[in-house]
Structure 1
């Protein structure tokens, strides 16, 4: 046991002090975002919105995320990641607290759009900061540490959120979300001042390439949109499935979602460390992660046994653990070809687009066809994602062989 623990700790060695601070800031911020997993329940049970209304609210959520990610990328390239991160955290904290007073459909759509516009301007800036504070050989593990912080916060967040809902009210969640954003800002200002932080990988390009001309990156982005649509069902339609079909309580739903974060906390870093030392490519690993995530929906229609929910969560969790770190590392590697803010903004926008279409489409499919048919359609989207990642892998191999032939000649 001592050897296992020692080996686990060794997977964290070599990461910079600044990356650890970024992880702490992310942990504080993410621990408070317990509103998001319960948003569909809040809108249907508390505000009495229809599933169609919830779908449009989630589309506003995604649209705000798209605009925010694009804006965050532009601002990061112009004024730097530090200023963008501080601005985003402060304003997001205020907006989250304000969100709870909105009770009409139109006002909530506008409110969630503004919240996500400001909140997701943080993401491209954070990715660029993470790249700057990481040695090239440590980037995937640095991304994994950030994800570990996200999921450690997320493992506690839904469980605590479910308890707060049942014992107090939904309103307390908005206050916690806002306050934790403000606390994260204080930590950021204190420990990551650009005058004190040490940059380990500065990328400068006199003639940067446009991300929009990078064919491999565009194929990758389409695949990530599809993967995001599939993955996000676990945070919109799936909680409703747990509640309405499987008859779980909010607290049980929180525990099930919390299991996802706990497993990632325990297994993701050793898994990524091991996979980095194999011969698998990033595109191949992303493909495998997409397969596992798709299978998590396939099995739901096979049995009414409640244990299948745990198996599905396990498949999705390991699929997520493999797909997200290597997709993020893939994006950061490609970003060295051009403006980093632009590349990382597009990577963030891919998932923002998934928010726009994923939640709304999922809700409408459930309302029109029921959960069983919805899971079949989601599985088909996962299959298309896998196909595109296969095409990406073949395309990258072709480019690699072409470059090798030129060198030989």
Structure 2
């Protein structure tokens, strides 16, 4: 075959792979996906908040750390409440309240000046911005068929990282012009997301029949806490999240102490976003029908030992290589873990279950900075990286044990039909 023929064959395979990656998903999913992308494209505040407080406002690094912790604490507080709202009020109302509140509080954060006011509004921003996560994940589980969920969650995760990569690149330019412009831009983008939800997304919460109410008791928070297998998965998710959080909290501190510049850290971490954008979809095609237990065990080990390898890094190139290792674990873990949570959740309790799962990541975001700071100050960075390897091993063993049960333990049911029912045109053509 000629080179031109080989090139056409390769292009044909790529087009076919892309079609297979996006085909068969309902139109409502793509509006939800677009809402996620727009939201992350406007995520300026998380990128430049520390610089805004220290350089523009003149506050100390300790105060900036306190504000970051309050943002995380707000997410912890709202996780459970948002899950309950998702089940009681519905996915759509919860999204509208969360995104509208986020737009208002982010805009307000750009105007307040007193340190107590900044801290208080930052806490509200953390609450509002995190409240949409259980609703998004529950709605996605409602409208996507079980066999397509790993692919759908992977595409959503890809949108999150693509949007964040673009917003992170643009945040520096926005900050040079005006920090206030960054706050207002994020508020505007979040408001656009709320409008998309209001105009394009019908409610997807399954409606319970009288027979279902009689046969299946209501799912409360107590039901979630008594679900031993699910709570074990939440605990393991917390351990894995602790590891991945070190890319944002432990790694920059360790590199700084080793004499590397912020630019060096930025170059090393940029590999994470580039690999996720480039590999998330093709890797998902490879893993979506494979044993989730093996995937979660493997990704936990690779994440833990990927960060463990950081102890041997002595150059920016080697740091970037370790980022490559744990990024591959992240690509596999994120959609697999989210799909597992859905499969373990009863249909009429998805909001509460997703809220508890979101809590594991919010708690990790709150605790990881404290843990990394303590470990580095008291014992040195090498002990932090060794600890990551140990935590990854513990998580891997935990997944292997927890997921040994029979398939009958899984509570998932086929995705219900939304109201109004979708038409054949609601599917993306293959």
Structure 2 portions without partners, runs of 5+: 1-9, 411-430
Cα distance change on mapping 1:183 and 1:191 into 2, 3 Å: same
* Other structure's SS at 1:33 match: coil
Query: Which of 251, 259, 273 is matched with 2:285 structurally?
Result: 273
TM-score by length of 2: 0.82
Q: Of the candidates 91, 106, 109, which is equivalent to residue 96 of structure 1?
A: 106
In the alignment, which residue of structure 1 is the partner of 2:346? 336
Counterpart selection for 1:234 from 247, 252, 277: 247
Shift of 1:301: 1.8
Deviations 1:261-291 (A, max 9, x none): 332222212212221233x2x2321221122
Matches of 1:344 and 1:309, distance apart in 2:
34
Q: Does 1:264 align with 2:286?
A: no
C-alpha deviation, 1:235, in angstroms: 2.3
Is the 2:153–2:335 Cα contact (8 Å) retained in structure 1? yes
Aligned partners of 1:43 and 1:386: how far apart in 2?
39
Instruction: Identify if the C-alpha distance between structure 1 residues 184 and 242 changes in structure 2 by more than 3 Å, giving closer, same or farther.
Output: farther
Q: In 2 relative to 1, CA 303–358 (structure 1 residues): closer, same or farther, beyond 3 Å?
A: closer
The TM-score normalised by the length of structure 1 is 0.86
Partners of 2:305 and 2:388 within 8 A in 1: no
Distance 1:46 1:382, change over 3 A: farther
- Return the index of the structure with the highest Cα Rg: 2
Aligned to 2:418: none
Q: CA deviation at 1:175?
A: 2.6
Q: Which of residues 179, 184, 193 in structure 2 aligns to 1:175?
A: 184
2:149 alignment partner in structure 1:
139
| Cα-Cα RMSD | 2.8
Q: Count matched residues.
A: 392
Tell me, yes or no, if structure 1 residue 304 matches structure 2 residue 314: yes
Contact kept, 8 Å, 1:44 with 1:50, in 2: the verdict is yes
SS class of match (2:247):
helix
Answer yes or no: is the 8 Å Cα contact 1:40–1:236 preserved in 2: no
**Residue in structure 2 matched with residue 4 of structure 1 by the alignment:** 14
Instruction: Give the match's secondary structure for 1:15.
Output: coil
Tell me which moved more, 379-388 or 329-338: 379-388
Q: Shift of the alpha carbon at 1:141?
A: 1.1
**1:162-201 Cα deviation digits (max 9, x unpaired):** 3434x3354443233222111212222221144xxxx597
Offset at residue 322 of structure 1 (A):
0.8
Q: C-alpha distance in 1, partners of 2:112/2:255?
A: 26
Q: Does 1:374 align with 2:387?
A: no
| CA deviation profile, 1:306-332 (whole Å, cap 9, x unmatched) | 101211221221111111111100111
Gaps in structure 1 of 5+ consecutive residues: 404-409
